Amino acid sequence: MRLYIIRHADPDYENETLTPAGHQEAGALARRLAQHGLDYIYTSPLARARLTADYTVNLVKRPPVSEAWLIEIPGWEIEALGGIPAWDIPGEVLRAAEPFATHDTWHALPFLGDERFTSYWRDFKEQSDALMRRHGYERDGGRYRQVRANRDQIAIFCHNGTALALLAHLLEIPLPAVWSGFWHAPSAVTTVLFEERSDTWAVPRCLSACDVSHLYAERLPVQPRGIRGNYR
C-alpha cells in the first residue's frame, strides 16, 4: 500500500477557499496524481482541502471520502505565543533541551505541558490507525500486521499540521522532531510505502517528503504559507 499525504493548495484563509495560485497548484497536482492510478481518495471536510481534491477527483474519477479527523488539528493553539499552533513553535525552542525530546518526554517541552495535547495526540493516532485497519493493516507497536496485504494507492488531502502529525505517527518520529524539521508547502506531497518484507509485517517507509516537483514541472512558484522565517 502506498499513501500520498497532501497539504491543500495555496489557501485564501479569510474566505476558506483557494487563491488563484492555489487553483493552478491543484490542477498541476491532479495531473501528477493521475499518473499513479489512485484507488482511494480521502479528504478533510474543510473547503480548502476539498477544493484541492476536486481537481484530482474529476481527473481520476474516484469518489472522495470525507474524514472529520483530517481537519487541521483543533485545540493545539499556544496562547502564550500569540495563538500559533503547536507545529509552528520555533525550532529554537523545541530543540533547546538536551537530551532531545522523545515519544515519552515531548509533552514536558516548553508550551506543551497541557495534558490536552497528549489527549488530542492519542485520539489522532487512533483515527489514523483505524484508517490503516480499513485497508488491511493492524497497528502492533511500531509495525503493522498484514491482515490483508494490498497494493492500493491512496491520496489523503489534509493540512500542514495534520500531514506532519500523520508522518510522525507512521514513521515513529517524536512530534517535535517533525514539527521543527519538516514543512509541507501548499500542495506538497509526502509518499509513504507500507513495505512488506515478510508475509506478516508491513512497516511505513517514506519514499519522498514534502515534494513539490509538480510545481516545478509546470513552472509554478512555491507559496511560503506557514513559513514564519526567512523564506525566499
Q: Are 149 and 206 in contact (CB under 8 A)?
A: no
Q: Is the pLDDT of residue 59 over 80?
A: yes
Is 223 part of a structural domain of the chain? no
Percent of the chain at pLDDT > 70 equals 100
Whether 96 is covered by a domain: the verdict is yes
Handedness of CA 204, 101, 186, 209 (dihedral sign): negative
Task: Tell me what the pLDDT averaged over the chain comes to.
Answer: 94
Whether 215 and 221 have beta carbons less than 8 Å apart is answered as yes
Number of other CB atoms surrounding residue 117 within 10 Å: 20
Q: What is the CATH number of the domain that holds 45?
A: 3.40.50.1240
Rounded Cα distance between 146 and 143, Å, is 10
pLDDT of residue 188: 98
* Nearest CA among 108, 222, 226, 203 for reference residue 149: 203
Predicted confidence (pLDDT) per residue in 3-26, tens digit: 999 999 999 999 999 999 999 999
Given a cut of 80, is residue 74 above it in pLDDT? no
For residue 200, give the 3-state DSSP assignment: coil
The per-residue pLDDT for 226 is 87
Domains contained in the chain, number: 1
Give the pLDDT score at 228.
82
- Structural domain includes residue 17: yes
Q: Is residue 228 assigned to a domain? A: no
In a domain, 50, yes or no: yes
Given pLDDT bands bounded at 50, 70 and 90, which one contains residue 192? very high
How far is the C-alpha of 214 from the C-alpha of 168, rounded, in Å?
Answer: 24
| pLDDT score, position 168 | 96
Residue 225: inside a domain:
no
Domain span at residue 9 reads 2-217
Predicted confidence (pLDDT) at residue 229 exceeds the cutoff of 90: no
Instruction: Determine, yes or no, domain membership for 113.
Output: yes
Does 231 map to a domain?
Answer: no
According to DSSP, the residues that pair with 84 across neighbouring strands are 78
